[in-house]
Amino acid sequence: MWTTRRLRPSRNRFLPFLALAVLAASASTGVAAPLDATAWKYRQAFSLEHPGFVRLALPLDTIDRSRPGFADLRLLDPDGRELPYVIDIPGATTATLRAPADIRIQLTRTATAFTVVTGTTAPLDAVRLTSPERSFLKSATLEASPDGRTWTTVATGQPVFRRAGTESLQLPLDARSAAFLRVTLDDTTSAPVAFSNVTLVLAASDGEFALPLDARLTHREEFVGETALTLDLGARHLPLAAAEFTISTPQFRRAIRAVTPALRDGRASDRVEAAGELSRPPIANTAPPVRFPLNFTADSRELHLRITNGDSPPLALDHVRIFRRPVWLVFRTDRAGAHTLLTGHPGIAAPHYDVTAFAADLPAARLVKPAVTPLADNPDFDAPAPLATVPLTGAPLDPSAWRYRRAVDLATEGVFQLELDLPALAHTRDDLGDLRLVQDRRQIPYLLDRPDLLRPVAVNVTAASDEQHPSLSRWLLTLPESSLPLRHLTLAASTAVFDRTLYLREEIPSDRGPRVVTLATVPWRRAPDSSPTDLVIALPQRLATRTLMLSTDNGDNRALALDRVAADHAVVRLLFRADAGPVQLYYGNPAASPPRYDLDLAAPQLIAADKSPVPLGPEETARDDGWPARVASGLRGGLVFWLVLGLVVVVLLLIVAKLLPAPRAT
């Protein structure tokens, strides 16, 4: 099996015939005994009316249920024998360019018009302009005509520009056929610009360039200077082409990146897959969609997009569309009739076929495209245990040194996802190195998953202003737990115009009395007619208590009206494989060393596996330090300390008195 991003025509005219010969030989003599299909979980059927070369578009469910890189994909002929194949994924450069038959230029006082004789009846994706100018900005109108006399407006107010290293010189036609095109550039606000060429971009046949994907925007969240979007793609292992945004904001220029889960330093985190820019110049009355090239394969069903806003307000984002590239299966068969696709083998290696050496020359063959039945369970599938090679248990553990434990009930064997709740986050260490999963007094190896996701934390707000200081506004913020590792504190105010400095403090008790620590000093300003943005305060360190103090000096102004206070924390999950039965999660051991498991070697498979979420039971105190610890706790201050100290002094005086010699009689 071999995958290519773009199949290029061969420079040697004999290579296509050699490739066809190799594939024909593989199909006729390279097949061996019928394949044992019981190790594959899913199967799909399609029927061919004639033997020969076939180009099959893999359905989304086939792509979704296959392993990364299609390592488990197998193709069977009507006799159940394995057929060699090649995977073809068209690349971003698949679009075909064509020079028009004729170009006529007309200059007026207010516009530059190009009348283009296309010379083709093929569907057109776009018309592309070429200019030697370094910097310009124009508004364009695009029209189409079948005869050069009757014109239909395709688009108006389209930006054509080159500014600050970015450019947009292409006007979309959306697979429209036209004998004539007319591009009119508005020159009323700036001097005419020289254009050296006009090129037609032919639409790729059968959606080979990019197919619209029924993706769903499941979550949007605003952070400090950043918008986070989460989209459900509907399937895994999709080769993505682009994201298209419909944005109402009239002008903008924002950095954007796409991230996916990946393994880093033994932990699952986010990896940047694509980075670019969304921009629209200041042209009135235009809001065309903006595209962001992706050009990577998303192994997860979720796509995370991050838009950097800086000090600008978030974009007015109306709609997001995702485009994917098709995945073609190219093969040759000597038999007509029912063929079978097998997917869902948990551990088989990718196949190696002779024909892959000539994959770039296979598109020269004449290909057909049969329909494929929906994915169905293989009735003969002998299901192995999920991640059967991953160890279920590790070294034994004596949990007596751990302070807290939580019960986890597993109904069946499998791969699980356990998310830490607020009590667990509050009582574990900052580095999470004291987390242990235990079953039958042996550790269960786990992988720490820290996705770029945040959970909200409820905050109870109480006004605590002092009548002796009327210019000060004070609030007490009460959290559900003490010692929480919060990530942000978000404030919302209804006051229309203000300029304040807010102070966030925490009162930490100690043996010498309470100590007030300033956590953040943040300016907050809202000018007239500006959008009411929230204030987000980053909290880089773990809190010590469950109560925070927020204050600001209003001066001679009206008191700041604080409407809402929200907090959030980073999501932390444990990924593991275990047998059915009771499991205990232990945490709260400051002296424990971080665990090291061989499971890290199987991290990619564990991340990609289907996981069942499991809840945590109520928190229990796992360790009782007994009376010595309680006495030591009492000795740390107060009346008990002085009583015990006095008792020790009296005992020492009695011992000294006994050791002294008795006085002599006189």
User: How far apart are alpha carbons 387 and 605 in whole angstroms?
Assistant: 8
Per-range mean pLDDT, top range of 22-31, 83-92, 117-126, 569-578: 569-578
Spatial distance between the Cα atoms of 252 and 292, rounded to a whole number of angstroms: 14
- Tell me the C-alpha distance between 392 and 394, whole Å: 7
Least confident piece of the model among 23-32, 258-267, 489-498, 521-530: 23-32
- H/E segment holding residue 62: helix 60-65
For 362-382, the pLDDT digits (tens) are: 555 556 677 788 888 888 776
For 151-194, write each residue's pLDDT tens digit: 999 888 888 888 766 778 888 887 788 999 999 999 998 889 98
Amino acid at 642: W
pLDDT at residue number 658: 74
Q: CB under 8 Å to 245, separation ≥6 — which residues?
A: 278, 289, 290, 291, 292, 315, 317, 319, 320
Q: How many Å apart are CA 465 and CA 469, to the nearest integer? A: 8
Distance CA 400, CA 402 (A): 6
The three-state secondary structure class of 464 is: coil
Count the neighbouring beta carbons within 10 Å of the beta carbon of residue 484.
21
Q: Which range has the worst mean pLDDT, 236-240, 286-290, 525-529, 639-643? A: 639-643
Q: Just give the CATH number of 455-570.
A: 2.60.120.260
Rounded to whole angstroms, the Cα distance separating 471 from 665 reads 81
Residue 560 is classified by DSSP as P
Q: Coil, strand, or helix at residue 188?
A: coil
**Whether pLDDT at 340 is above 50:** yes
The three-state secondary structure class of 266 is: coil
Please state the pTM of the whole predicted model. 0.55
215 CB burial (10 A radius; 0-12, 13-18, 19+): buried
pLDDT in tens, 557-584: 999 999 999 999 998 999 999 999 999 9
Task: Quote the percentage of the chain above a pLDDT of 70.
Answer: 83
pLDDT band at residue 320, thresholds of 50, 70 and 90?
very high
Helix axes 626-635, 639-659, angle to 10 degrees: 100
Spatial neighbors of 480 by CB under 8 A, at least 6 apart, are: 422, 457, 458, 546
Site of tokens 């192994």: 299
Structure confidence at residue 180 (pLDDT): 95
Say whether pLDDT at 112 is over 90: yes
Question: Going by C-beta distance under 8 Å and a sequence separation of 6 or more, which residues neighbour residue 464?
Answer: 474, 475, 476, 549
The sheet carrying 414-419 orders its strands as: 216-223, 226-232, 302-308, 252-264, 267-280, 446-449, 573-578, 414-419, 612-614
Q: What is the mean pLDDT of the chain?
A: 82
In tens, the pLDDT along 29-53 reads 444 456 777 888 899 999 998 888 8
Query: What pLDDT, on the 0 to 100 scale, is given for residue 635?
Result: 44
CA–CA separation, 210 and 582 (whole Å): 49
DSSP assignment letter at 78 = T
Cβ(317)–Cβ(244) under 8 Å? Answer: no
- CB neighbours of residue 425 within 10 Å: 23
Length of the chain: 666
Distance of CA 177 to the CA centre of its chain: 38
Q: What is the pLDDT of residues 588-605, one digit of tens each?
A: 999 999 998 888 777 777
User: How much of the chain, in percent, has pLDDT values that exceed 90?
Assistant: 39
Q: Which residue has the higher pLDDT, 44 or 638?
A: 44
Q: Which CATH architecture has domain 96-203?
A: Sandwich (2.60)
pLDDT tens readout for residues 254-309: 989 998 766 666 566 677 888 888 888 776 556 778 888 888 998 888 888 999 88
Phi, psi of 467 (to 5 degrees): -65, -25
- List the Cα angle 635/636/638 in 5-degree steps: 80
Number of H helices, E strands in the chain: 6, 45
The matching CATH number, chosen from 3.30.200.20, 2.40.50.140, 2.60.120.260, 2.40.40.20, for 211-324 is 2.60.120.260
Amino acid 508 reads: I
Reading phi first (left if > 0) and then psi (alpha if -120 to 50, else beta), residue 148 is in left
Q: Among candidates 546, 554, 324, 339, which has minimal Cα distance to 457?
A: 546
